[in-house]
Amino acid sequence: MALTKVEAAKLTNDVLLRGVIETIVLESGVLTLLPFMNVTGTALTYSRERTMPAAQFYDVGDTWQEATPEFTQVTVALKILGGDADIDNFLQQTYADPNDLEALVIESRAKAVAHLFSDTFFNGDAAANPKAFDGLARLVPPAQTIITGSDGGPLTLDLMDELIDLVRPGRPDALLMHKRTRRQLSQLRRSSGNLLEADVDAFGRRALFYDGIPLIVDDFVRVDETLGSGTGLSSIYAVKFGPAGVMGIENGGIQLETVGELETKDATRHRIKWYAGLALFSELGVARLQGIAAA
């Protein structure tokens, strides 16, 4: 069963672990929607859909033609993500509330884990860093990529509609972008006489929508991309989550374990670890608008 980290947090009775999961989710907008599949072993091998089978009309008595989708076999390995949180025993003993100090230190490490996951989700390159997994910038195929121009160019509403239409069947579950791009999109909508729709997300925070599709703003979407001679560019990713698009893989979920007292210093160590990766199940479930110049 695939669960988002929001739902996973509700299923644990460990208050400290629940706090770690909730901190990671709050620090990473992607994790509010990205579902995770628990896998057995160190990797997942699956067939990625490249094209959908064609359909056609027939007359009575016609011979029907068989059509099958095209698949590519892909193997995605789990990667080890995490960090240690050391709590000084002297500070913990003399602190007004030892539980508060422990929670603060672990929360800080959980934020770092969330930031690294978000950065890798967008920009991960396993060729450059074999310890990491490939992110969307590497996973979106050329056929699902639109460029604003050979050297980059401005964002337009027509390009937004073209990006959304590349994801099929149906519509994207989210549009992922940097806050700079969100501001440009808001300006375009105001200029056209419309505003981005607003609602609240699962945490009660204000959320924006474009044509009914949630906008996920993440600072780890780069604004220093290059295209031709253009620099300082960014991208928007249109994504379906789950078996029709992108899904996280993991073994055991986010884990918090107490390593214990350290030999070399007067401190107690807690370890946050996560055996995780990212799988693209259908090339048709993602699209990228690349080369968006600063306004």
Number of CB atoms found within 10 A of residue 243's CB: 16
- CB proximity list for 286: less than 8 A, separation 6 or greater: 136, 139, 140, 144, 167, 237, 238, 239, 240, 245, 246, 280
Assess contact for 223 and 231: CB atoms under 8 A.
Answer: no
| Two tokens, residue 201 | 């997300």
Residue with tokens 């590519």: 72
- Map the chain to HEC letters: CCEEHHHHHHCCCCHHHHHHHHHHHHHCHHHHCCEEEECCCCEEEEEEEEECCCCCCCCCCCCCCCCCCEEEEEEEECEEEEEEEEEEHHHHHHCCCHHHHHHHHHHHHHHHHHHHHHHHHHHCCCCCCCCCCCCHHHHCCHHHEEECCECEECCCHHHHHHHHHHCCCCCCCEEEECHHHHHHHHHHHHHCCCCCEEEECCCCCEEEEECCEEEEECCCCCCCEEECCEEEEEEEEEECECCCCEEEEECCCCEEEEEEECCCCCEEEEEEEEEEEEEECEHHHEEEEEEECCC
- CATH architecture for residues 3-51+72-292: Alpha-Beta Complex (3.90)
pLDDT, tens digit only, all 295 positions of the chain = 565 655 555 556 556 667 666 676 677 788 888 999 998 888 988 877 777 677 778 888 888 877 777 778 888 999 999 999 888 888 888 876 766 788 888 888 888 888 899 999 999 999 999 999 999 999 999 999 999 999 999 999 999 999 999 998 899 999 999 999 999 999 998 888 887 888 776 556 678 889 889 999 999 999 999 999 999 999 999 999 998 899 999 998 888 888 989 988 999 899 999 999 999 999 999 999 999 999 7
pTM of the model: 0.84
Strand partners, 81: 274
